[in-house]
Structure 1
Amino acid sequence: MKVQSYLSFEGRCDEAIAFYKKALGAEVVQLMRYSEAPPMPASDMEDGCGGATPAADKVMHSVLRVGETELMLSDGRCSGQAEFKGIMLSITASTDADARKWFDALAEGGQVMQPLTQTFFTSSFGMLTDRFGVGWLMVVAAA
């Protein structure tokens, strides 16, 4: 079994992809736009599974490779109201320098909840919410 994160940016997915490429060195593995999808059957729209299709240039599905992990991202229904409540993504860095680099990059335009600092359990630990509202926890692997 494999559990992966799927984040809906509600219309800001292209912006998020560019941000994570710059901040974390993420690599786009897959990207499909709504314009590439086959037409939705009318029956799907009638039973509430469809609804209005977002603009053709919006991201229907994407996969980013971030280090050893793949994150899936989408524009969702393009409501403009992305909400990432009750979850955080965690990065385990090998060094304090990497932790600092990624923490500062993710914090740009976001909000630091716990500054990156030494704790009793690791040399660097911090928490933040990035500019999209995604929560991140940064920790250096214990030696």
Structure 2
Amino acid sequence: MATTNSYLNFNGNCEEAFNFYKSVFGGEFTFMGRFSDIPKETYQVPEADKNKIMHVSLPIGKSILMGSDCGSDWAPKFTQGNNFSISITAETKDEADRLFNALAQGGKVHMPLADAFWGDYYGMLTDKFGINWMMSYTEPK
């Protein structure tokens, strides 16, 4: 069965917020990447966004708190109080496809499920109730 985690979006202060959360909950970031890490052939990041956080992960107990800064045209517009998504990690690629397609019914797909440059099978959507979802599957090593 898939697992769910919280994904928070910030308006340029993601790194500051996650350093605060780390001081509260302890632990270490398992990943922190900036928009400048996106391969140029994938997307041309505007200069103003290059130092912003593309993705950060902080394990808290059995869950993972994840986040990023909003950017230019690739991210949802930042709205305080509605700046989160539910992130699902599927156990199989078929499960990812099934759940993603079901959640997308009547909603809006922002990024279709596809192999991403960081190695996951990944997609994003907003369901018909206005809830943002992220779906990922990682091949076992």
Structure with greater strand percent:
2
TM-score under structure 1 length normalisation: 0.45
User: Based on CA coordinates, which of the two structures has the bigger radius of gyration?
Assistant: 1
